[in-house]
Structure 1
Amino acid sequence: MLRLTLAIFTGLVGAAVLHLVILFSIPHFSNRDAYTRAEFQAVPNRFHLVDKDGHRKGGLSSEDPFMRVAVCTYNVEEKPVRLSAFGAVPFWSIAIFDSASNEIFSMNDRTSAGGELDILISTPEQSGAIRKAEVQALSKSILVEANRNEGYAVLRTMVPQASFLEEAERFLGEATCEPAPLK
């Protein structure tokens, strides 16, 4: 009986210690999610190149030598955000995430219209207003509804050889991530 009581007591103390360790470690890991690291990169509503040393500085990093990556954080609370990019790169892809790092949309140059990137991220209410108003400037944009106001977009392009690097960086550098008018 004494052994059983000792085993139960040891198990309860061990469980309590484990729970305390988990609770005290949450603040350490909570600021390391992808959205927080993307926010750290720089100013919102603008694509910023991600380098391979970004994780040392507290931001995102890209260690794939054949890909160049840019990230943009956005907020659609007041206005929708339009993502666009044009250029002659061998391949590009984009993934849009909400602030909880859930992917809400992705596509690449093979699935886009004419190989161009033109996406409008909006709230469901804004999407309804855009469809009603039939905004001509946004008529060819892909409309993506975001249930959360904040998020980030990751734009990647392939650099199969060093000769493609300049065009890839120009493509990412000229990509836009700006608030769009509703009218």
Structure 2
Amino acid sequence: MGKLFHAVIVGVIGAAIVHIAILLMVPAFSVRDAWSSLSQRSNYYTMTRLDQAAGPPLIETIDPLFLASACRFDLNEGIVHLTGEGKVPYWSISVHDRTGQNVFSLNDRSSSSGHPDFVIATSDQMIAIRNALPPEMDRSVFIEADVGEGIVVVRAFAPDESWHPTVSAFLQSMKCLSK
């Protein structure tokens, strides 16, 4: 009787470990992740609205007062220069790797002018660009992200409906360029 009880307990514990491992691996093997959804809607270096895209939204936002836009990039092709114009109450930018892990986040307080002007580069690219800084990047904030492919997400705060045109124009002005 003791051996049977021991076998049942080991079996239950083993099954629990297998089930937990499968649940933890689902995001890595899912074909409906953020990267796949965004790649179906747009190419690299194209800003895509996440809240008003054709069809269902790419993300379900937790806070309805934020509008968002995203751009896929590949640092193997060169650095990414992200710029935008306009004045909104608050904006934030987050850089994610291909699996959706947040690599870097910042907001409107990180920019000297209050406008987004950021360069995303790997360590090696950062050294090269600092040695020969182009004039259009002299006031840029540099983000070192050692990822191959990634997504940059821009979110902007719209306190009420009257701000939606202004915030939408701000997100439309965003440029995601490979240099």
Instruction: Look up the match of 2:85.
Output: 86
Q: Provide the rounded CA distance (Å) in 2 between the counterparts of 1:38 and 1:105.
A: 19
Identity %: 26
Instruction: Look up the match of 2:5.
Output: 7
Instruction: Look up the match of 1:165.
Output: 164
- Give the match's secondary structure for 1:87: coil
Instruction: Look up the match of 1:17.
Output: 15
Correspondence 1:120 to 2:119? yes
Q: Which amino acid aligns with 2:7?
A: F
RMSD, aligned α-carbons? 2.6
**Cα distance, 1:44 vs structure 2:** 2.1
Query: Conserved in 2, the CA contact under 8 Å of 1:40 and 1:58?
Result: no
Deviation string, structure 1 residues 105-132 (Cα, Å, up to 9, x no partner):
2222223111010111111111111011
Instruction: Look up the match of 1:151.
Output: 150
**Cα distance, 1:17 vs structure 2:** 3.1
**Cα distance, 1:61 vs structure 2:** 2.4
**Cα distance, 1:38 vs structure 2:** 4.2
Q: Provide the rounded CA distance (Å) in 2 between the counterparts of 1:138 and 1:83.
A: 10
TM-score, length-scaled by structure 1: 0.82
Aligned CA distance change for structure 1 residues 22 and 36 (closer, same or farther; 3 Å): farther
Q: Provide the rounded CA distance (Å) in 2 between the counterparts of 1:22 and 1:66.
A: 35
Query: Conserved in 2, the CA contact under 8 Å of 1:96 and 1:105?
Result: yes
Aligned CA distance change for structure 1 residues 98 and 167 (closer, same or farther; 3 Å): same
Gaps of 5+ in 2: none
